[in-house]
Structure 1
Amino acid sequence: MYLGLRDIRAAMGRFALVTSVVALITLLLVMLTGLAGGLADQNTSALKALGPDRYVFSAAGEPSFTSSSVTTGDEEAWQDAAGPDADVVPLGIATTRVDARGTAEPVTLMGLPAGTPVPGGDVPDHGLLLPESLGGTADTEYMNHQPVAWADLDTWEAMTGASSPTVLMVTADLSDDDWDAAADSTGTVATTVDDSFAALPAYQSERGSLLAIQGLLYGISALVVVAFLSVWTIQRTRDIAVLRALGASTRYVVADAAAQAAVILTVGVTAGGAAGGLLGALVAGAVPFTLSLWTFLLPPVGVFLLGMCGALVAMHRVSTVDPHLALGASA
């Protein structure tokens, strides 16, 4: 590692350029990861907060929160299938407007039996429980990128014009096979909370687009490291040849090059991750952005690992330097 560190000190311009590019890519990935998580939460946080073991949809076609409709018969059938200790709760979901702070605000209105616990309160016997973002007292949860307001089922039906709830929330101590058997016997579709997200309109395409962009940036980070380190290695050929001529083993010079790449990547991803964390904290109140360890650790670790894989490609030249030919060519 001695030669690698001396080379970094002697070529601070190149070092700053490479680390700046790595830092910028890491920053972009941190921001994109946080935005992807924030957008996902604005689509699904209410479903996560309710947290049943399964959401049960009507069996007509693919599960969908916009077209599903369950009946009292479905509720009774699931109570029988899941057992007397199971908790089977109807849930109505619809988009509407409510009067809040003197204006009509778009919300996702969720209807539940009166008294049902929800984030930040209980469903009232009559009327609405508004989220804090609309001047209410309930925690602000989101679905379909709109804040969620809570109502009893009678109020929900009156405000939305729906005649029956959308899905059932079932909590029971059942195995996966038992859940499948219960769904088959009741003629419905039961999904886990995470699987139910696919029943949201545009969730899959939105999520897929953001993940594709993240994947491209990870690939670009590896290519950038390969390109820069390959050029840097070519410029170090004479120094490497001198080491080989003095008796340094291939393993030593490869380890030296790997250590140099690790230093470059560590500085780059640390700077980019720190900048991303600071910027994310600043914008979290203005845009949907998830602040979590996953957001700030995954991109730097991913860029570092992909960068080291790319460095292995660049180090192939190091392992094949012929000291006699290299010194002769430089003479």
Structure 2
Amino acid sequence: MFVGWRDILFAKGRFTLMGVTVALITLLLVMLTGLTGGLGSQNTEALEKMGADRFVFFPASSGGQASFADSAVTAAHANEWSATGATAVPIGFTTGKIEGEGASTLTLIAAPAGSDLLQRTAALVQGAAPADGQVALPEAVAKELGAEIGDTVTFSGADLTVSGVTADTFYSHTNSGWTTTATWQAITHQREVEGAAAAVGTVLAVTGGSDYAATADATGAQALTTREAFAALPAYRSENGSLVTMQGFLYGISALVIVSFLTVWTIQRTRDIAVMRALGASHRFLTLDALAQAAVILAAGAGLGALVGAGLGALAVNAVPFQLSALTVAGPAAGIWALGMAGALIALRRVARVDPMIALGGN
């Protein structure tokens, strides 16, 4: 990298500008990636922690798209899946206003009394799992309401006794509390009407079993993995799609910026490269030297952007949903560096085509 270092030292301002540009793009990507992860986690955290092998949906219309908004399962559905050797737990979801001394929005998740789903998903901080007519509140909501164990709170018009307090767990951007299936049925007015069985939940959380596809076909259901079930949350689909698209644009812009800079820089160095070619420098030497130069600038810029992004992310986690991890910081930096090097290969093709005759005054 003999020539590359001297170029960098000679044109400090130009290479500093390039490095700062790469750093800013990396910073934007680190922040956007962390925000995407944080918002995604607030949508899906409860589902991930349930540890189900499959979430089974029974859409309102046959062949309809799986959605938490219109799926409903009955006791017969749960029995059909349990008969295959799987453990099928009906889970109900409903979101509403909860009131005590204060008020908040809460998603109430329901499971049959005695189910271990609560313990698997949201650890009890104090108190006990809810019985019928009771609710286990997440810490943040309990604090907002000023509610303690034994107090009565009102959820969507129904009075419930606080049985315990759990760790905060989010579903569709809302903190989640827990109750029993019978209580959920009463709150959501689920009852048998004209021979139609009452719903006991929104979906089935299935663990064990094997041939999920065959059972789903036989029961008219849709069995999705946890990650596939994320798409059944309308907010997750639109939100995540928008943020990932923005990331894609930023990666594309970074590649274009780097290719443009290196192309212009190579054109400006054409005569210098021709002189070195005339003195016997090989294509390989010149190309590797230029690539090493690009690697240094990209590494410095991406590293600086990632460092600043990590610092800002550490502050952001206290104010907004932000996922700060090695992946959300190092991932964008590595992506920018790799894209930049790919762009450098494209831009530096001109190095191999420089004619040494230019250095000797040829045309």
Tell whether 2:9 aligns with 1:9: yes
Contact preservation (8 Å) 2:274, 2:354: yes
The separation in 2 between residues aligned to 1:53 and 1:314, in whole angstroms, is: 48
Tell whether 2:130 aligns with 1:124: yes
Map of 1:97 onto structure 2: 97
Map of 1:166 onto structure 2: 202
The CA deviation at 1:154 is 1.9
The CA deviation at 1:232 is 1.5
Task: Give the stretch that moved more between structures: 246-255 or 180-189.
Answer: 180-189
Map of 1:193 onto structure 2: 226
The CA deviation at 1:238 is 2.5
Map of 1:135 onto structure 2: 142
Map of 2:148 onto structure 1: none
The CA deviation at 1:327 is 4.5
Contact preservation (8 Å) 1:128, 1:151: yes
Which structure has more helix as a fraction of its residues?
1
Alignment of 1:1-331 (within 5 A): 1-59=1-59, 60=61, 61-81=64-84, 83=85, 86-100=86-100, 102-117=101-116, 118=118, 119-121=122-124, 123-126=129-132, 127-135=134-142, 137-163=165-191, 164=199, 165-174=201-210, 178-328=211-361
Structure 1 runs not aligned, ≥5 long: none
Contact preservation (8 Å) 2:130, 2:136: yes
The CA deviation at 1:3 is 0.4
The separation in 1 between residues aligned to 2:224 and 2:233, in whole angstroms, is: 13
Structure 2 runs not aligned, ≥5 long: 144-164, 192-198
Contact preservation (8 Å) 2:271, 2:358: no
The separation in 1 between residues aligned to 2:362 and 2:302, in whole angstroms, is: 37
Map of 2:196 onto structure 1: none
Aligned residues: 323
Contact preservation (8 Å) 1:29, 1:217: yes
Contact preservation (8 Å) 1:221, 1:307: yes
Structure 1 residues 149 and 185, CA gap change in structure 2 (3 angstroms): same
Instruction: Provide Cα deviations, 1:204-253, integer angstroms capped at 9, x if missing partner.
Output: 12111111110110000000001111122222223212211110011111
Contact preservation (8 Å) 1:223, 1:310: yes
Contact preservation (8 Å) 2:90, 2:202: yes
Task: Give the stretch that moved more between structures: 112-121 or 285-294.
Answer: 112-121
TM-score normalised to the size of structure 2? 0.85
Q: Aligned to 1:135, what secondary structure does the other structure show?
A: helix
The residue identity in structure 2 corresponding to 1:283 is A
The separation in 2 between residues aligned to 1:17 and 1:40, in whole angstroms, is: 34
Percent of residue pairs identical: 50
Contact preservation (8 Å) 1:280, 1:291: yes
Contact preservation (8 Å) 2:278, 2:359: no
Contact preservation (8 Å) 1:237, 1:326: no
The separation in 2 between residues aligned to 1:70 and 1:314, in whole angstroms, is: 58
TM-score normalised to the size of structure 1? 0.93
Please, what is the CA RMSD of the aligned residues? Answer: 1.6
The separation in 2 between residues aligned to 1:159 and 1:99, in whole angstroms, is: 15
The CA deviation at 1:185 is 1.9
The separation in 2 between residues aligned to 1:327 and 1:106, in whole angstroms, is: 78
The residue identity in structure 2 corresponding to 1:66 is A
Q: Aligned to 1:199, what secondary structure does the other structure show?
A: coil
The separation in 2 between residues aligned to 1:161 and 1:15, in whole angstroms, is: 67
The CA deviation at 1:329 is 7.1
The separation in 2 between residues aligned to 1:133 and 1:236, in whole angstroms, is: 61
Map of 2:147 onto structure 1: none
Q: Aligned to 1:154, what secondary structure does the other structure show?
A: helix
